[in-house]
Amino acid sequence: MTIRVLLVDDHQVLRAGLSMLMNAHPHLEVVGEAGNGLDALSQVQATKPDVVVMDLSMGPHSGLEAISKIRSTYPNTYVLVLSMHTDVSYVRTALAAGASGYVAKSAADTELLTAVQAVARGRMFLDLPLEDAAEGGRTVGPYPVGMAAQPRVPPRALSRREREVLRRIAQGFTNLQVAEELSLSVKSVETYRARVLDKLGLRTRAELVRFAVGAGLLTQDAPPSLE
């Protein structure tokens, strides 16, 4: 049986390389490509792939949002994350959004083909071990999705701008990317981030990501851009 694959990454050169790698395999066929999460949704509808291989950091249309929508709308299509991020918090966030697997881009040449075939059969595939630097340890999987951090205040206690910054940081955006998307200075983004951490009583990015997952901030529509 041939496994139909959709590639989603904002780097065209990487997509071209992955396409050559997969099409050379006798049981894999790349049926489409997309450069962001929004285009991925239309491509899934058009090509009906078995597996979507997707990056996470593709502003302005996040891979995390696309994962959730793909899995809820097309339950027979599985999502495999291919990302440069190897912190456990990113893996947990992707799994919470509905991904069936996670592979680091550094291991794409050795693990990706195996991962695609495993995910297509309905199995979980995690490229491990991974460092969880924020929590001071190593995790060897498979492991359950982490529980959301418990904040001192509810999400509604944050301003709309604070929720915007929180949401994008949890999606894996850098401070510079957040600043460019929200038309802020990097210093302002850093200030908002510090204010959010203080209000919620959180300390690390990993805690912030888990809180955002638990609060549903990564699957809802984008919040208004103004205070």
| Residue pLDDT, tens place only, 127-173 | 654 444 334 333 333 333 333 345 555 667 889 999 889 888 776 67
Domain 155-214 part of CATH 1.10.10.10: yes
Instruction: Give CB contacts under 8 A, 24+ apart, made by 141-145.
Output: 145/92, 145/95, 145/96, 145/213
- pLDDT-based confidence at residue 33 (cuts at 50, 70, 90): very high
φ, ψ of residue 8 in degrees (nearest 5):
-130, 110
31 compared with 207, residue with greater pLDDT: 31
Residues contacting 132, CB < 8 A, separation 6+: 87, 88, 89, 138, 139, 206
pTM, rounded to two decimals:
0.60
Query: Which of 46, 44, 86, 84 has its CA nearest to residue 66?
Result: 44
CA dist 196 and 177 (Å) reads 18
Express each pLDDT in 195-213 by its tens digit: 998 888 887 766 776 677 6
Spell out the domain ranges in the chain.
3-139, 155-214
* Mean pLDDT across 16-45: 93
Which CATH architecture group holds 3-139?
A: 3-Layer(aba) Sandwich (3.40)
